[in-house]
Amino acid sequence: MKKRFGMLSGPIVAILALAAGCGGDDNPVEDDGGGNGGQPPTVIEDINIMADTNRDGLVDEFDNEGEDLWTVDKGAIFLPNLDDDNLDGIQDRDTPENDGEADTIDFALVQIGAFDGVPDTALGRVTIDPWAMPHVKIHKFTEGVGWQLVGGSDGPCGAGGDTACNYAEPYIYLTAAEVKAGVILGVEGKRLAGLRDSTSPDPSGPQVAWSGLVQLDYSVFETPASPTPITTELVPTGVDAVQLRVSSWQMYHNLTPQLDTIMSYSANGGGSVEFQQGIDVAVGDHGGTFYYKVTDFNDQWNEDWLITGWVSMPKPDGQVHGMRLAYPRAFTQANKFPIEWLSSPSFAGVDHGYFVTYSSPTQGNTYDSGGNHDVLPPYDNPANGQSFPVGRIIHGSGVIQETKDFYAAQLPMAPPLVVDTSWLIVGHVDEVFSYMPANTERGWKLLVGQPDLAVQMLTEWQGQGNGGAVMFEGKYWSNNQPADLSIDEALSDQNIMAWSQQGQAEIDAMEAQVMAEVGLTEDEIVYIPFLFESLGGGQLVALNPGTVNSYVWDDHVIMPDPFGPPINGVDGFKQDLLDRIGTAAEGLGLDGQGMNVFFTDNWDLYHRLLGEVHCGTNFWGPPAASEQWWLAAQ
């Protein structure tokens, strides 16, 4: 029995067009050959289940080829539905009903083709693979009814949540009428791959990590009692299969396009007002960024307790649909856990959500804070065969195993580059490295803290008769001791000089490692001067405001005010940064003519508490169509 693949029509086509998103009139079901550059489909099946295998944002007969094996080159993608579209404080994955149109747009569509030659007693069956059952929800669209949950699971399934997990049947049954007319399913993920709860029960006993894949097998039976499925010339096994994978998560970085929001803590004292004023000026100059001042979560270390990124899947015309997803560290200085704030209207909403990597809310320490997690911007290094088109995660020492496991499962940005930050008191990679756009073939340069440069500059100023010039004038340390320090005092302090030499040796090793991995040359490094000190225990922290620890977006940068010594009436360290970073001297900025450099006073709020600007600010922006992770993973 050979039947040509039957296309869907009417209301179901309308719902597909709606789910395609972007507000246009693109139809994800094509019957004119338009989905493959005008070429006819290579595979046309009768017993047919399809998803967006060719990743063009459409579901059509061009998706049949290779649909049964997901690879980095092909295979449909679905989102982890971790936002809160109706603002009820519950993530959409945890509600059995969908939360309206904004929620259903988050579904990845699966089309079961019309098979009109079956008897009226026929039964269709979609089988969900058992490994994916705890991690997906599958909905069916019915005219006049809408979307209904028909497969997968409901409740907190996975490791530690099995007792509260409600499994639907592993089978989705279709009536003869549905088999003849065709059906649309919607797939949503409940979590990302690589998380601690992304495990599935193994019949042999242990929990095993979920790969992020879900396989759906479709068969048609003559009657509900038939022991074997119908077979055809086109589907001789009687089973058609399609595989999908949950989206990888991408961390924001200094060169991420479309960053539209900067977040930071906001209060009326403790140096917060001065800090905000500096950011206000920079944001006003940029003109395209919203400054979100967090007033209802009492922890000023915004970068350290919250790591931000996004997920996405293809849509027509090269566009993407996705959501912004952040994950908190297990500990904060606030009087409540981060999830309470992340699930509130202050953060959660349409295409805004969160997930967790830790196994307990008291896990981790400073080394696992967000400042120790960053991204090397996109690079190719022919010398070692490495290519990271959307960037590569870089982190320092002490990251918990759960986070390492999660990063390893994020295809395009993995494996992370790990550098040694154990010599730092705070232990964060952002204390040493930053990244700025540059008008070069690579498109960016590496900023590296360099104590030797600070000593050289101080020595030159001393030789010019400025030895009495005072750094940090009028500032106080956290113990209320005056911070004033003259150039002569700094250069004659054997401890400061020894600590700075120690820091330089450690930084040299980190810099050499990154240069070799990325393939950077000397002219792609920009050195940032500041000294180091030790507060006991042999570990180090920046003595001056660590100006490498800054917030960079587009061609703007917000740096800590260095409060350097006055040289010829101006702050010597500040003028050096303006001369090198704010001009064409280093080729920085989108046009190579320099960055727009802004300084903010972070002394009281961050520096004297062992942090700087980057520690207290965070990125936020929509999924970028120019950074499609499925292309980068190839």
Quick: pLDDT tens for 536-587.
Answer: 899 999 999 999 999 999 999 999 999 999 999 999 999 999 999 999 999 9
Q: Where in the chain is the domain with CATH 3.75.10.10?
A: 251-632
Number of CB atoms found within 10 A of residue 14's CB:
12
Q: Where in the chain is the domain with CATH 2.60.40.1700?
A: 11-246
* Rama region for 146: left / alpha / beta (φ>0; ψ in -120 to 50; rest): left
Q: What is the mean pLDDT of the chain?
A: 89
Task: Return the residue matching tokens 């747009």.
Answer: 105
Distance CA 458, CA 314 (A): 54
Q: Is the dihedral of CA 567, 568, 569, 573 positive or negative?
A: negative
Distance CA 370, CA 429 (A): 9
Where would I find the H helices in 257-351? Answer: 272-286, 302-305, 338-342
Do 8 and 114 form a contact (C-beta atoms < 8 A)? Answer: yes
Question: Mind spelling out the 3-state secondary structure of 463-491?
Answer: HHHHCCCEECCCCECCCCCECCEEHHHHH
The CATH number fitting domain 251-632, selected from 3.30.428.10, 3.40.50.150, 3.75.10.10, 1.10.3720.10: 3.75.10.10
Distance CA 61, CA 255 (A): 38
Quick: pLDDT tens for 326-382.
Answer: 999 876 665 566 888 899 999 999 999 999 888 777 777 888 899 999 999 999 999
**Distance, C-alpha 118 to centroid of its chain:** 46
Question: Superfamily for 11-246?
Answer: Protein-arginine deiminase, central domain (2.60.40.1700)
Do 316 and 288 form a contact (C-beta atoms < 8 A)? Answer: no
Which tokens in the block code for residue 203? Answer: 């019949």
Distance CA 224, CA 334 (A): 58
In single-letter form, the type of residue at position 381 comes to N
What is the predicted pLDDT for the residue at 462? Answer: 98
Q: Report how far apart, in Å, the C-alpha atoms of 478 and of each of 496, 567, 606 are.
A: 19, 27, 10
What is the predicted pLDDT for the residue at 510? Answer: 98
What is the predicted pLDDT for the residue at 100? Answer: 82
Residues forming a β-bridge with 293: 264
Distance CA 349, CA 324 (A): 10
Quick: pLDDT tens for 147-172.
Answer: 999 999 887 665 544 456 777 678 99
What is the predicted pLDDT for the residue at 24? Answer: 32
Quick: pLDDT tens for 188-235.
Answer: 999 999 987 777 766 555 667 889 999 999 999 999 999 999 999 999
pLDDT of 507 over the 90 cut: yes
3-state class percentages of the chain: helix first, strand second, coil last, to nearest 5: 25, 25, 50
